[in-house]
């Protein structure tokens, strides 16, 4: 029986990817459609993608597929043919090509079966995720963004919104899509007669969110076709003004695609203009936060002095400290008692004081 998962260390796989000379294309796609046997579907697709040297992160569930992938340029047409033939519903599925891509986004193929491709927390049996809002192409997005009767709603996490968003878009301040859906309903309850435009990175979250808004009585609901990735690509192709400013956060090694040169975020340690996300170098932390070059040097890539100290301990002592410590995915603003919060509050006070002079 063939091996249907990777058995080589991450370090070796990453080294192999970095040694490659052939350019790669980073692509994302999703499709809501019913899959009878997700595990069998996953295994069959894995066996076809693996020889093509496709890397990436692909989730499969009864409700469909959600994927981010890196494909060698010479295999891209074979990749498309394989994907389009995997199921009738995938024939011609939209592929979002990365707009700011060095080809180093992934180094291994991970395909997992999940309960949902987007965890939404919806338990209403009458909800139909296929009843979605109207798609908006790039030129239509630009037309609607200047309409005072239109509200743009960002359906991404707070740390994504922080580094880039559509002009005047509403942030739904949450770390999870599951929390955002009821929050969006509450925030928009007085705008049911307005045009509601929802957007996200590649379209998968805002498409489901648009269906949820329609399900809850909103009438004029739209969503950006292909999300920020497709909007930016089409706007640049058509020489349209870019209404999304800053960076588009992405969930791979790049941690961001540059859309415009605007830097709208700030270093979480000193307050300097910066939109570079990084993970704390302390293996016992790995907090995701924004850090400028100066602070990266000053704090040795760590988020706090406590993490700097732990990062430089002998490996045995680090492992002993990590033993039994809960260390899931941590993002700045989730860890409310983290020392990094004090840095940010201090520079905000200094900035506000300077603005009032």
- Report the catalytic residues: 200
What residues contact 212, with CB distance under 8 A and at least 6 apart?
120, 122, 127, 181, 185
Task: State the DSSP code for 349.
Answer: H
Q: Edge-to-edge, what's the strand order for the sheet holding 64-72?
A: 96-97, 24-32, 64-72, 55-61, 109-113
Cross-strand pairs, 165: 245
DSSP secondary structure, 33-96, as one string: ---S-HHHHHHHHHHHHGGGT-EEEEEEETTEEEEEEEEEGGGHHHHHHHHHTT-GGGTT---E
What residues contact 163, with CB distance under 8 A and at least 6 apart?
246, 247, 249, 256, 264, 265, 275, 277, 290
Rounded (10°) angle between helices 204-215 and 177-187: 40
């Amino acid at each position: 029986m063939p091996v249907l998962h990777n058995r080589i260390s991450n370090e070796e796989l990453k080294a192999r990817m970095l040694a490659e000379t052939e350019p790669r294309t980073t692509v994302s796609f999703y499709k809501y459609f019913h899959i009878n046997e997700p595990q069998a579907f996953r295994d069959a697709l894995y066996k076809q993608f693996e020889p093509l040297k496709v890397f990436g992160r692909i989730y499969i569930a009864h409700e469909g597929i959600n994927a981010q992938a890196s494909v060698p340029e010479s295999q891209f047409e074979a990749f498309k043919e394989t994907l389009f033939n995997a199921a009738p519903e995938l024939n011609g599925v939209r592929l979002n090509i990365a707009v700011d891509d060095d080809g180093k986004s992934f180094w291994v193929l991970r395909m997992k079966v999940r309960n949902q491709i987007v965890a939404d927390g919806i338990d209403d049996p009458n909800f139909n995720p296929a009843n979605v809002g109207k798609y908006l192409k790039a030129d239509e997005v630009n037309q609607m963004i200047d309409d005072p009767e239109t509200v743009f709603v960002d359906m991404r996490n707070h740390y994504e919104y922080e580094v880039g968003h559509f002009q005047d878009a509403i942030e739904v301040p949450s770390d999870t899509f599951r929390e955002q859906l009821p929050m969006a309903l509450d925030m928009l309850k007085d705008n049911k007669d307005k045009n509601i435009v929802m957007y996200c990175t590649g379209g998968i979250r805002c498409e489901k969110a648009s269906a949820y808004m329609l399900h809850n009585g909103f009438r004029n609901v739209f969503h950006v076709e292909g999300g920020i990735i497709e909007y930016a690509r089409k706007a640049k192709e058509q020489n349209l003004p870019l209404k999304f400013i800053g960076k588009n956060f992405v969930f791979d090694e790049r941690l961001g695609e540059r859309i415009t040169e605007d830097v709208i975020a700030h270093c979480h340690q000193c307050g300097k203009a910066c939109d570079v996300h990084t993970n704390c170098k302390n293996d016992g932390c790995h907090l995701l936060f924004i850090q400028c070059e100066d602070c990266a040097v000053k704090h040795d890539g760590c988020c706090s002095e406590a993490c700097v100290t732990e990062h430089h301990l002998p490996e045995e002592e680090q492992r002993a400290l990590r033993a039994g410590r809960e260390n899931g995915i941590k993002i700045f603003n989730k860890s409310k008692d983290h020392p990094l919060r004090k840095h940010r509050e201090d520079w905000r006070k200094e900035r506000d004081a300077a603005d009032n002079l």
